[in-house]
Structure 1
Amino acid sequence: MHHTCNYTCSTRIITVHDITGVRAMSTIQIRVDDELKKDAYQAFEKLNLSPSDALRLFLRYVAENEKLPFAEVSVMVSEDDEDADILAVVRERLKNPARRIRVNVDDL
């Protein structure tokens, strides 16, 4: 059986035999930017995870919690140098989430 979904992924059912009997396993194929893949694989290696293990952890979390394991952050920037500086600060602070401060919108 072969299915194709909107996210350029395909699912194929593979039968895997284990001690408890037969269970169906699926293969997921995704397209990602080459640089993203390289960076992610390097991070997985540092974390002692295979890409498959990392994706299984992600999928299990989403299935169990019905939400992403992270908050998506959107920042609107223009091509001004000032905006590029702001974006650099945001990226740095997202790398170190323990360094957080609370700010009122009125204070901005």
Structure 2
Amino acid sequence: MSMVTVRVDDELKKEASKIYKDLGLDMATAVRMFLIQSVRTRSLPFDVTLEKPAISDEEFLKMIEEKIPSKKIDFDNPVDVQEFFGDEDFSEYEEVFND
């Protein structure tokens, strides 16, 4: 059997040991579990990510939809099209639209 030696901050070891004790484990068993799971999954047994955004993408989109007034446009309705484009001149495209 091999021995693994790791240097960690005293406070980190103390806090982790308390958690493992509450779970009925000692430090060696917890580390062994970490290594076994790493081998089984061929990865770290937890997500390694950069700082997560304060809100999810879905929450962000919902917030935008609530804050920004919007209107669905029916492009087959000339009134909606006029409201959307306003005074813009698209005369160069008239022959495309009139086909």
TM-score class normalised by the smaller sequence: 0.5 to 0.7
- Corresponding residue of 1:50: 26
- Corresponding residue of 1:103: 57
How many pairs align?
62
Identical counterparts, % of pairs: 34
Q: Which has the larger radius of gyration?
A: 2
Q: Does 1:60 align with 2:14?
A: no
How many Å separate the matches in 1 of 2:21 and 2:35? 19
How many Å separate the matches in 1 of 2:31 and 2:15? 15
Q: Which runs of 5+ in 1 are unaligned?
A: 1-24, 77-85, 91-100
TM-score by length of structure 2 reads 0.52
Which structure carries more helix by proportion? 2
Please report the RMSD computed on the Cα atoms of aligned residues, expressed in angstroms.
2.8
Q: Structure 2: which amino acid aligns with 1:62? A: S
Question: Aligned pair in 2 of structure 1 residues 30, 104: CA closer, same or farther (>3 Å)?
Answer: same
> CA offset at residue 73 of structure 1?
3.0
How many Å separate the matches in 1 of 2:21 and 2:59? 40
Which structure carries more strand by proportion? 1
Q: Once superposed, which parts of structure 1, at least 4 consecutive aligned residues long, lie more than 3 Å away?
A: none
TM-score by length of structure 1 reads 0.48
